Amino acid sequence: MESPPPGIQSESQLVTFLLGDEEFGFDIMNVQEIIRVPKLARVPKTADYVEGIANLRGAVLPIIDTRKRFGLAKTEETDRTRILVIDNEGVRTGLRVDRVKQVTRVSNSNIEPPPAIIKGISADYLSGVVKLDQGKRIVMALNPAKVCQVGLSQAGASREHDAAKRAFTASQQSVRHNDDVEQMVTFKLAREEFAFRIERVREILRVEEPKEVPDTPDYVLGVLTVRGKILPIIDLRSLLRQESLADELCAGVKQQGSAYRRGVETLKTVAAVEAQALPDTAFLESAKQWLNHFSSSSEALMESIGKLRNFNDSALRLSQAALKLWGEDPAGARQVMSQEIIPVALHAADGMDGLAAQIQKNIKEDQRIIVVDAGGILLGLVVDHVNEVLNVAKNLIEPPPSMAGSANVELSGIAKLNDGARLIMLLDSSKLLADQTMQSLQQNAGGAQLAGSANTLDMNQGTKSNDAHLAREQQMVTFRLGDEEFGIPISQIQEIDRYAQITRVPRAPEFVDGVTNLRGEIIPVIDTRKRFGLPVKAADDRTRIIIVDLAGTKTGLLVDSVSQVLNIALKDISPPPAAIESGIDNEFISGIGKVDQGKRMVVLLNVEKILTHREKEQLAQAVVK
């Protein structure tokens, strides 16, 4: 064989991998690394072969299912499944493959041009066909630029990427101002509704067990380390001199359980004595209503409630049949009661006895920590449940009443909604704790700087310093659709409401679920699942409607649940990779937020671009109808 011309290599190295029985390969210079399948965040409205995005040491990595890319049948993931990280002119893409085989040296003389098609794999994806072992082994060498390209050419993708970056940067600078309303985060505490003005709320966290701090008041639960800063955790119920949420719920369970036991004992007496008096089964109906209204984010707790509902419903159904039989055959009715109703009801009573312990163990899954700015120091306040982000006209907010023996230092106002039927008490975060308590917290935390202090987050009493701090973060409201988490800048949200009755609109666009009445104003509601091409899901008690402004039309976005208000540092937000934006109807994706050191990925949306211009016109017409 003749020697190759100077400067031209006579052989290549291929990283080969399998998809089923077929072998493929990339030039080793394009393979940056090989990793196991990471945790993925799904991205809506992308090509079906784009599985999602992952965090790779701080960088957002789009993941392509190579089987789907090549039109092959999808298979289940195994312990051999790997991700090839392909670098093509500085753009990295992950390709899922069945398994990696080896690194193979290939003589250029064994590489032939690709035929028009090989087993359904378009020649566009191939850079050549390698014949090894005298033609007994065929390796299809792949063209990384074509395999990793999504929708546009590389130049087009680069232009789209730059445009998205510009739009993303602009979105960081947009802030909504309205001098006529107060925007607030509302929450439940001891069956009452409270709120903080949204400019005081930094983020909302799930409850974790804090580290105890000695010699502090009972309402100080301890401190948590959040992103390297010390955050004092305050039990707001205890601070406001209310019993704990767990104790309150357990008292209700105990009361319900005692009434249930008394009802079962009454049934035993009636079943044992030949009497004409009808048994009292009202306790079964009362328990049904109580169980149906019980709601929790804890799967374990709701699983136990579900079992109790089944037992109680069976006992109620059987008791109704026995009551009908009572007039004709009292003895037969008592037998049904003794042999069928009472055993089932006893199972329910036993379940109620164990419910209190489960509540103590799991109720923290319902609670949240609202992180507020308390005069330059951040405090974490444990509340029962975060309700919504709400816009309230300032003329509906009154100063707190003066009451004998109380200075009302915690309240900054009372919002009166629904003609006074709904009262929301605004708390002043700067007056929650006395100065000496803050000093005590800092001293007893081992000398560590508290989160939000001037030495940690450059926050002080001055507004200018505070604004400079906020400019380094993006405040988002995050929500879920299935297992995926999305975020909308809080500046684009007007309020968040519970699911209300939605009236269907004839001939409305498919993505418009209907219209709803929001305090006398009719607004259209977009089914976000439909808009993102996800399976439709029935509404439940976690379903929420996020109210936004779309081209001047107040619009509701129907989501599975709202997670939290979250501050994401701008350095942790990346523009969307070209692989999930190129040529796909998802210009509304403004960036990818990385939370918890990249373990959690949040797809950030720009609601102004959720609908096209034509769709916005259709939306406005739906309201008119």
Low-confidence ranges of the chain (pLDDT < 50): 1-8, 119-120, 152-161, 163-178, 403-409, 447-448, 453-471, 582-584
- Residue 244: what pLDDT? 87
Residue whose C-alpha is closest to residue 34's, from 46, 58, 17: 17
SS3 431: helix
Tens of pLDDT, residue by residue over 341-363, are 999 999 899 998 889 888 888 88
- The strand pair at 377-383 and 397-398 is best described as unpaired
- Residue 623: what pLDDT? 59
The CATH architecture annotation of domain 11-149 reads Beta Barrel (2.40)
- Residue 159: what pLDDT? 45
Assigned token pair, 101: 């085989």
3-state secondary structure 304-346: HHHHHHHHHHHHHHHHHHHHHHHCCCHHHHHHHHHHHHHHHHH
- Residue 460: what pLDDT? 30
The CATH architecture annotation of domain 473-624 reads Beta Barrel (2.40)
Tens of pLDDT, residue by residue over 433-470, are 765 566 566 555 554 455 554 333 332 333 333 444 44
- Residue 118: what pLDDT? 52
- Residue 422: what pLDDT? 83
- Say yes or no: domain 181-242+370-461 is CATH 2.30.30.40: yes
- Residue 435: what pLDDT? 57
Assigned token pair, 361: 């163990």
CA distances from 457 to 173, 340, 376, 490 (A): 20, 65, 9, 21
- Residue 404: what pLDDT? 39
- Residue 173: what pLDDT? 41
